[in-house]
Each structure stands twice: as structure tokens, then as C-alpha cells.
Structure 1
Amino acid sequence: MRTLFKAAVFLVVSGIMIGGASLQNIFVMQRAHAAEMQSVTESAGKMTAVGYGALPAGMPVGRAKMMARRAAIVDAQRNLVEIIKGTAVDSATTVENFLVTSDIVKTKVNGMVTGATVIAEKMDADGAYEVTMEVPMYGVGSIADVAINAVVGDKTPVPVPAPSPAFVQIYNQVSVNSNTPGYTGVVIDAQNSGILRTFCPAIYDTKGRAVYGVNNVDKDFAIHNGVVEYAEGSEQWGHVTAGASRAGTNPLVIKIVGLRERVVNKCDVIISEADADKLLAENQRSHFLDRYAVVLEK
């Protein structure tokens, strides 16, 4: 299970005094530190946001709490929209790019946020009502559903390219004389590279050849499972080492050369031409890309 994005942005309100300080001042200070409270981590595949509402003065406590809760929900929904808008779809695009140009995407995002689930709520010591809401990252009605449909549309998947003939001729001679079992998948080692997690990552070689990406993956699979499986941190790396990832028990491990340059979102990796040919040649042997058995360690 994964945590992808979490942020808290705070509503500026006024009117209630707490220990000589107004809620407005407290919320302004919180908002100034909002960036420090944002995180991009992996957990249950949910995107979460926190919202706050102030207790209105001069009304019964029960009704005041109801109004504060509603204000907190609206604030959390607003914050979810902001987080979703900034989410990277591919190397050059965020969800916001599609929101500007597509009424369909806008409608889907609005519906998703309106239907967001409240997962936690409480009254803070400072008198503010706090609500945490979440939307799914993957599956039907998720951010991935919106993003991948916007990119892929009705296109059918295209096959990955073949390795270069010169490489195949030499590599097949080596493989024929080898008793090594076929690889069950591929692990792309991008550890400590600063790569950004996204819905449509791609693998290129140093010659600019597109090796693997969203256009090679069944759309429904990508929406439910992702184009690649991401592994970050020692616990998830251990999961891969133990053979429990979708790359299987005998993955081909390839270290990246770098990240793709001159793009907005650093989410695409570059591997050497020889490693790309080896990956594609081994895929012809074991067909692990037919199962999208790709893990990206970040």
C-alpha cells in the first residue's frame, strides 16, 4: 500500500479570540508554514488534504460545530483541488494543463473532490475544526483514471520496440550457451536521482529511443496498477529484493544513466543503449513486459 501525496493548507478566518490571539493570526501563521508540512510519501495509494473551519461566534455550540465542520470540508476540498492540479501526469504535463483545456477532465476532478472521503476529524485545542479527506490515486474514479485517460484516450497499446539486430546476433550466442533462467521482470535503479513520481513515466536510452511507457501498457491495467511499480526507501527496496514486487523473483536490474533533460517534470529515466537492448532482448525471451513487470526504485 502506498502513500503518494499529503498536504495541509489553511483557511484564513477571523472573529474568535483565543488567549489574546485571533484565529485569523493563528491560521496565517499556519499557512506561512504550510509548505513545511507538505509531504510526498507513499502509503495507501490515497491523496489526502487537511481543511480547517472556525467556530462562528454568537450561536449554540452544536450548530457552531456543524458550521465549522462544513467550512473545514470545503477547505479540504479546495486544498485537494490544488494538490491534484499540481500532480505530474508525465514529463511535461500536470493535471492543471488538462483542466484548462478539457471540460471532461474538469468535471471528473470536481466530481472526485465532491465525493472525497472524510477519514479523520477533530476539534483542535485552538478552537478550529479539522477535517482530513482523501481521494484514490488508482482505480476507477481515481486521479490515475482521469490522468491516463487524458493522455491515452482510446488508443490501443503499442508493442515495445525490438532490440537492435547487431546486439541480438551477439547476445543470442551468449544466451544459447547460458543456463541462466529467464528474467521475471526489470528493476530500474534510479535511487537518489531526484526522480519525480508520476502517472506516465517512461524509459529512454541514450540515443533517445523510447523503450517503455504508458503507450505500451493496457489502459485499464495502468489505471488500476500504474505504468510501473515505485519502490522508495529501505522497506520497499527490501520488498523488491525479496522477490515480492511485480518484477518477480529474478528481475533484471538496470542502473539509470540519468533523468531526461529539458522537461518540466523529472519523471523519465535514461538507460544506456546496451542496457536498453539487453532489456528488450530479454523481454523477447521471457515476455515480462507483457505483464508490465517493471519496478522503478527511487
Structure 2
Amino acid sequence: MKRLILMTMLLAGLARPAFAEDENQNLVQVDDTFTKTKTWLSGRNLTLTGGTAGARDDNAAFSQEAILFYGEAIGNPNHKTPAQRELMAKRAAVVTAQRALAEYLQGFAIVGDTLVKDGMAEYDVIRSAVSSFVKGSQVVFQEYSQEKDTAIAIIKIGMHGAKGFATAFYEKLNKDPKLKKEFATDKPTFKADPVKLDEAYDGLIIDATEQDFRPALINRIFAANGEVIYDPAKVSQKVLVDQGCGEYTNSIEKAKAALASRNVKNPLIVKASGSANSSDLQLSDDDAVTVYSANRKGDFLAAAKVAFVLK
């Protein structure tokens, strides 16, 4: 099985970007010129996933259950009236956002270890999903700066739910045995002699803040010997469609709150000891046995009651 992270580069930025990547936080930031856009985003507690400048924030897409992309365009000097320049610049900004979104989705993080013949384009599920979702993306905000003669647009698609991008992948995965086999790991399932635990656990929180780890449509958990503890490819389609393979936050407390929405009252908390690749985590021998033992009683892995804490 060939190891390949399914990622591609986004479109190159324009000459006068309205957004920039924050080097410290790896976030897509809005230029101060577009105050209405910043207010709109902050008022809804939303973060941009990426856009034409090339910056990207995969964590935002998973944590907020939505992919938000921006596009920008300058006014056309052939349009002489201000109203024409603004209108056409806004339309062009939407088109550039759609192009950047298409590039992103074509290289979306799927799984860290998979068999790929000739790259992502071989998968009909991805190709068809990208085409339909880009066409169906929702324009949620637009703004035009007369000072810079530049328009920006933000488009949005959902991650999960009936019309989510991840849903299209999960549904195809469950209906296509060949595809499911290619995305499934060939490692054996982890088994051990269960240990007695002082508490009953109904969920799992993985602290991955010290690992080079990012969210994906399939994030797996392995024991130190390479055996599989958690494989979302084996979770029911309904669970994956409704809520995905896990929650993604940047703190233990937020992880607890996120799992509470899945009726988790007492999650087991363990720290990842390593990463098999950037989307698969490893646990120490002791923690692997603890998770295995807790899950035998709580059966929380089958319901994807898992939260990943990212740095």
C-alpha cells in the first residue's frame, strides 16, 4: 500500500491580496480595508479555510463544520461607471473563489495511507463531488472597496449533514466495496487482555498537541505495534454522515464540550505518543490497552465518539 497524503497546492495569489496568512497562527486573515467582512466573520465565529492567496486552514473546516473560501478581483477599467466596476468585480471575485475551492477539494485530506493509481482524479467520488459542490457553493458575503477598486467574495459549503462534502465521500465509501477496500488499512485490529478500570467511559479524547497531526475525512488511531484501535472506515454510514469521524478542538475542555453534544458524559483522555503519518495517531502500549478495555464496555468507537485535540 502506497503512502500518500492527498494534498495539492492552491491557486497562486493575485497581485493585491485582500487576505494574508498569519505566520504565527496559520490563519487566513482579512485585510483591514474590508472591515465589513471581518465583522461578518467574527460575528458568526467563523474562520476562512483558504482562498486565492494560497493560505489554508484545514482545522477550521473541521472544527466549524464548514469550508469557507474567499476570492478577490480588481475592477475592470473598461467598465466606466462605478456601479459597473463594482458589480463585475464582485462577480469575478466569486469565480476566483470557486476556482480556489475546486483546487482545495481536489486535494482534500482524505486519509494518510491509501492506494492511489494515478492520483486523486482516478476517484469518481472526488471528481463528481468537487464539480457538484463548487457549482452548489453558497455565496455568503461580498464586499467592494472603492479605495482599492477591489472586490472580495466568500463562498461556503458544509462538511457533514445531508448536503455536506464529507457526506458524499462517506456514502460512496460505504456503497463501493472496491473503494472501501482501497481506503481501509491492511493492519490487524488491536486486541489485548482487558484490564479493570476504576471508571466507566463513554467517549475518547486524544491529546495530539505534541504531534504533527491534522484532521482528515478519515483519522485513525494505532497501537505502537501498528495494530488498529480506531478505523472510521468501519463506522456506520449514518454516524459518519451525521457527525463525521470525530470532533476537532484546540483544548481538552472544548473537546469535552464537543463530545457532550454526542451525549458523552465521561470521556477517557489519553495522550498520543506518536503519529504514523500526519492524519493517523499512535498510542503507547499502556494507553492502547486502556482504550481497548474502556471501549469493550462503552462501545464508543463504533459511534465515533472521539475528539482530537490539535495544537
If the TM-score is normalised by the length of the shorter chain, which range does it land in? 0.7 to 0.9
Compared with structure 1, are the counterparts of its residues 46 and 110 closer, same or farther at alpha carbon in structure 2 (3 Å cutoff)?
same
The correspondence for 1:163, drawn from 160, 166, 191, is: 191
Partners in 1 of 2:244 and 2:125 — Cα distance?
A: 22
Partner of 1:28: 15
Q: Is the 8 A contact 2:232 2:304 kept in 1?
A: no
8 Å CA contact 2:248–2:255 kept in 1: the answer is no
Q: Provide the residue aligned with 2:76 in structure 1.
A: 56
Secondary structure at the residue paired with 1:288?
coil
1:109 to 107, 120, 130: 130
Distance change in 2, residues 1:93/1:127 (3 Å): farther
- CA displacement at 1:110 relative to structure 2: 1.1
1:1-298 to 2 correspondences below 5 Å:
27-30=14-17, 37=28, 38-40=55-57, 41-42=59-60, 43-59=63-79, 60-92=81-113, 99-124=120-145, 125-149=147-171, 151-155=173-177, 161=189, 163-164=191-192, 167-168=193-194, 171=195, 174=196, 180-232=198-250, 234=251, 237-241=252-256, 244=260, 246=262, 248-260=264-276, 263=277, 266-298=278-310
- Cα offset, 1:32, TM superposition: 11
Take 1:118 and 1:32, find their aligned partners in 2: how far apart are those partners? 17
Seen in structure 2, the aligned counterparts of structure 1 residues 290 and 99 have a Cα distance that, compared at 3 Å, is closer
**RMSD across aligned C-alpha pairs, in angstroms?**
3.4
- Secondary structure in structure 1 of the residue aligned to 2:293: helix
Q: 1:274 and 1:128 mapped to 2: Cα distance?
A: 57
> Does the 8 Å contact 2:90/2:144 carry over to 1?
no
Offset from partner CA, 1:84-112 (integer Å, 9 cap, x none): 223210104699x7641134432221111
Distance in 1 between the 2:164 and 2:139 partners? 16
Return closer, same or farther for 1:123/1:78 CA change in 2, 3 Å cut-off.
same
Counterpart-to-counterpart distance in 2, 1:87 and 1:224: 19
Q: Deviations over 1:17-49 (max 9, x none)?
A: xxxxxxxxxx42539966964241435321111
Amino acid at match of 1:48: L
Please give the TM-score of this superposition, normalised by the length of structure 1: 0.74
Cα distance, 1:287 vs. partner?
1.9
Calculate percent identity across the aligned residue pairs: 22
Per-residue CA shift, 1:129-171, capped at 9, x if unaligned?
211111112223322123334544445999x94632xx23xx2
**Contact 1:231/1:295 (<8 A) preserved:** yes
What amino acid sits opposite 2:68 in the alignment? T
Q: Whole-Å Cα distance in 2 between the matches of residues 238 and 214 of structure 1? A: 23
The structure with the largest helix share of the pair is 1
Q: Which structure 1 segments of 5+ residues have no match? A: 1-6, 12-26
Distance in 2 of aligned mates of 1:104 and 1:161: 27
Q: Which has the larger radius of gyration?
A: 1
1:235-291 CA distance string (max 9 Å, x none):
xx323356736482222122111000xx4xx01000123322221222122222233
Distance 2:232 2:66 in 1: 21
Q: 1:291 to 1:75 in 2, by over 3 A?
A: same
Question: Counterpart amino acid of 2:96?
Answer: D
C-alpha spacing 1:258/1:82, structure 2 compared with 1 (3 Å) = same
TM-score normalised by the chain length of structure 2:
0.71
3-state SS of paired residue (1:207): coil
